[in-house]
A and B are shown apart, each in its own frame.
Chain A
Amino acid sequence: MIRCSLLAASVLCIGGCMEVEQVSNAQKQAGQTVRRDTNPWSNEPLANGPKWSKGDRTSWEEQIKKRQLAQHEHRRIYE
């Protein structure tokens, strides 16, 4: 009986041999992996660097997108 269940278990394991969908860290974490990376917006902004409100993804992204426009030659003046 034990042997049978072992065999069944290994069959199930092999059945799991497929690629998992590559979801982002946030969805994958769920507390049980070592993937403990924090999101960039959860950091305190530097004293003399770009500003956003800590923990607020939208404000971080807004300032990133604004900053990105410096890569655009038609808007040279940094907003």
Chain B
Amino acid sequence: MARMKFLCDAERCIECNGCVTACKNENEVPWGVNRRRVVTINDGVIGAEKSISVACMHCSDAPCMAVCPVDCFYKTADGVVLHDKDLCIGCGYCFYACPFGAPQFPQAGAFGLRGKMDKCTFCAGGPEEDKSEAEFKKYGRNRLAEGKLPACAEMCSTKALLGGDGDVIADIYRERVARRGSKGAEAWGWGSAYGQPPKGAAPAAPAGGKS
């Protein structure tokens, strides 16, 4: 059974923001909402600059799902965390709880009144009928239903951002790290999002990698 995951390779991300643009374009995300963002650490410091692209990581034990007062989140059979905008009341609790800052709120009125939450769907749409117009308007494109993978990962020019079945990602990444011959490469965010993986199944994740 496939388990959908994201992984961003910090050694490869060049902060081109192609994933951010691809996401906005593919899903026609409303103004002011960015489902994906690229964060650069030590920007401009030669030899220390690293970038990471981050969006919803589709956690195994998702804090957003746990705190939602109306229980509008659900998890698909492939481990993608989705939500129902018809139920969302815009309380912002998922935004407090999410480690990665994934939930986004378009402003729906004066005084910062929150609208319905919007977040990365792993290009899997929402509870509306697959590939329908209603689904596209609310959640964006349903690429999984077309047999495709998230636009951000598929369009990544340096192949830094990997998205798809966790086992395949782990294999690709492990091979990459082995070829690089470097120690200390980290699958960033996997500890927080997917918990501690079973022994042997993990990509190279050294002691420093409990992020």
Whether A and B touch (Cβ < 8 Å) is answered with yes
Q: Are A46 and B165 in contact (CB under 8 A)?
A: no
Q: Are B75 and A71 in contact (CB under 8 A)?
A: no
With A25-B74, A65-B2, A71-B159 as contacts: A43 and B146 at CB distance below 8 Å: yes
Contact B127 A46 (CB under 8 A): no
List of B residues within 8 angstroms of A61 by Cβ = 1-2, 165
Q: Is the beta-carbon distance between A65 and B168 smaller than 8 angstroms?
A: yes
Contact A65–B159 (Cβ < 8 Å): no
Interface residues on A, range: 35 or more
CB <8 Å contact, A38 and B147: no
Whether, in the assembled complex, B144 has its beta carbon less than 8 Å from a beta carbon of chain A, the answer is yes
Nearest CB of B to A63, in Å: 6
**Size class of the contact patch on chain B:** 35 or more
B62 within 8 A of A: yes
Which A residues are in CB contact (< 8 Å) with B179? Answer: 74
- A22–B146 contact, CB under 8 A? no
Given contacts A25-B77, A43-B131, contact A71 B162 (CB under 8 A): yes
Q: How many angstroms from the CA of A49 to the CA of B75 in the assembled complex?
A: 26
The reply on B149 being an interface residue by CB < 8 A is yes
Q: Is the CB of A46 within 8 A of B2?
A: no
Q: Within 8 Å CB of B79, what residues of A? A: 24
Pick the most buried of B127, B153, B156: most chain A CB atoms within 10 A of its CB: B127
Q: Considering the chains assembled together, what is the distance between the CA atoms of A41 and B73 in angstroms?
A: 21
Q: Which of B62, B86, B164 contacts A68 (CB 8 A)?
A: B164
B84 to chain A, nearest CB (A): 7
C-beta contact mask, A1-32 vs B, less than 8 Å → 1, else 0? 00000000000000000010011111010000
Interface string of B164-203 (1 = CB under 8 A from A): 1100110010011001000000000000000000000000
With A35-B127, A40-B130 as contacts: A49 and B147 at CB distance below 8 Å: yes
Q: Which residues of B contact A52 (CB under 8 A)?
A: 147
Contact (Cβ within 8 A) B61 A22 = yes
Nearest CB of A to B22, in Å: 14
A73 at the A/B interface (Cβ < 8 Å)?
yes
- Report B172 CB to chain A, min CB distance, Å: 5
Bound form: Cα–Cα A51–B148 in Å: 10
Assuming the contacts A43-B130, A64-B165, A71-B164, asked whether A37 and B82 have C-beta atoms less than 8 A apart, the reply is yes
Q: A34-B84, A64-B2 are in contact. Are A50 and B146 (CB under 8 A)?
A: yes
Taking A65-B168, A71-B153 as known contacts, 12 extra A-B pairs with beta carbons closer than 8 A to each other, sorted by chain A number, are A34-B86, A35-B74, A36-B127, A37-B82, A39-B77, A57-B77, A61-B2, A63-B147, A64-B2, A69-B172, A71-B156, A72-B159
| 5 tightest A-B CB contacts, nearest first | A50-B147, A68-B164, A40-B144, A43-B145, A40-B145
